[in-house]
Chain A
Amino acid sequence: MLWNRIESARREDLQTLQLERLKDTVERVYTLTPFYREKFDEAGIKPCDITRLEDLQKLPFTRKKDLRDHYPFGLFTVPMSEVVRVHSSSGTTGKPTVVGYTQADMDIWDEVMARVFTMSGASSEDVVHNGYGYGLFTGGLGFHNGAETVGATIVPASGGFTERQLMLMRDFQATVLACTPSFALHMAEVASKAGSDYLKHYKLKAGIFGAEPTSKGLKEEVSKAWGIDYHEVYGLSEIIGPGVSCSCKESELLHIFEDHFYAEIIDPKTGEVLPEGERGELVITPLTKQALPIIRYRTGDITSITTEPCKCGRTLQRMESIVGRADDMLIVNGVNVYPSQIEHVIANAEGVTLNYQIIADKKGHLDKLEIQIEVSDEVMSDNVSEVEKIKKDIQSSLLNNLYINAAVKLVEPRSIERSMGKAVRIVDKRT
Chain B
Amino acid sequence: MAIAGKIKQVSIFMENKMGELTDVTTLLSKNNLSIKSINLAEASDFGLLRVIVDDAAFAKEILDAAGFSVKITEIFAVAIEDHVGSFNEVVRLLSENGINIEYTYTLSNKEEGAFVFKVNPAMISNTLQLLRNSGVKVLDRV
Contacts and interface: CB of A to CB of B under 8 A. Distances in A.
Contacts, number: 57
A379 B15 contact: no
Interface string A394-419: 00000000000000011111110000
Contacts of A415: 15, 67
Nearest to A414: B67
Interface stretch (B29-37, B41-49, B83-91, B122-130): B41-49
A413 to B, nearest CB: 5
Contact of B48 (A377, A378, A384, A413): A384
Contacts of B15: 410-412, 415
Contacts of A411: 15
B81 interface: no
Q: Which of B13, B14, B45, B102 has the largest number of chain A CB atoms within 10 A?
A: B13
Interface in B50-101: 50, 64, 67-71, 73
A394 to B, nearest CB: 14
A410 B69 CA distance: 11
Contacts of B48: 379, 382-384, 387
A153 to B, nearest CB: 49
A412 B41 contact: no
A377 B11 contact: no
Contacts of A379: 11-13, 48, 69-71
Given A375-B13, A379-B70, A409 B64 contact: no
Contact of A413 (B11, B45, B67): B67
A388 interface: yes
Given A379-B13, A382-B11, A415-B15, A410 B46 contact: yes
Contacts of B46: 387, 409-410
B43 A412 contact: no
A384 B67 CA distance: 20
A410 B15 CA distance: 8
A412 B14 contact: yes
A92 interface: no
A127 to B, nearest CB: 46
Contact of A383 (B12, B67, B68, B102): B102
A234 to B, nearest CB: 38
Given A387-B48, A412-B13, A382 B67 contact: no
Contacts of B69: 375-379, 412-413
Nearest to A375: B69
A381 interface: yes
B15 to A, nearest CB: 6
A384 B73 contact: no
Nearest to A374: B69
Interface in A15-47: none
Nearest to A388: B43
A414 B9 CA distance: 24
A407 to B, nearest CB: 9
Given A378-B70, A414-B67, A384 B42 contact: yes
A412 B67 contact: yes
A236 to B, nearest CB: 39
B71 A378 contact: yes
Nearest to B103: A383
B48 to A, nearest CB: 5
A263 B42 CA distance: 53
Given A379-B13, A411-B15, A387 B68 contact: no
A299 to B, nearest CB: 39
A382 B71 contact: yes
A383 B42 CA distance: 10
A71 B23 CA distance: 53
Contacts of B73: 382
A171 B45 CA distance: 56
Contacts of A381: 71
A262 to B, nearest CB: 50
A387 B14 CA distance: 12
A383 B64 CA distance: 19
Nearest to B47: A384
Contacts of A388: 43
Contacts of B67: 412-415
B13 A384 contact: no
Given A382-B50, A387-B48, A413 B68 contact: yes
Please indicate which of the listed interface residues B14, B41, B46, B73 has the most CB atoms of chain A within 10 Å of its own CB.
Answer: B46
B11 to A, nearest CB: 3
In the A-B complex, the 4 residue pairs with the smallest Cβ-Cβ separation, listed nearest first, are A382-B11, A379-B13, A379-B69, A384-B41
Interface of B: 9, 11-15, 41-43, 45-48, 50, 64, 67-71, 73, 102-103, 118
Given A378-B69, A387-B13, 12 more contacts: A377-B70, A379-B11, A379-B70, A382-B118, A384-B41, A409-B45, A410-B15, A410-B46, A411-B15, A412-B68, A413-B67, A413-B68
8 contacts: A375-B13, A379-B11, A379-B13, A381-B71, A382-B71, A382-B118, A384-B47, A412-B14
Interface of A: 375-384, 387-388, 409-415
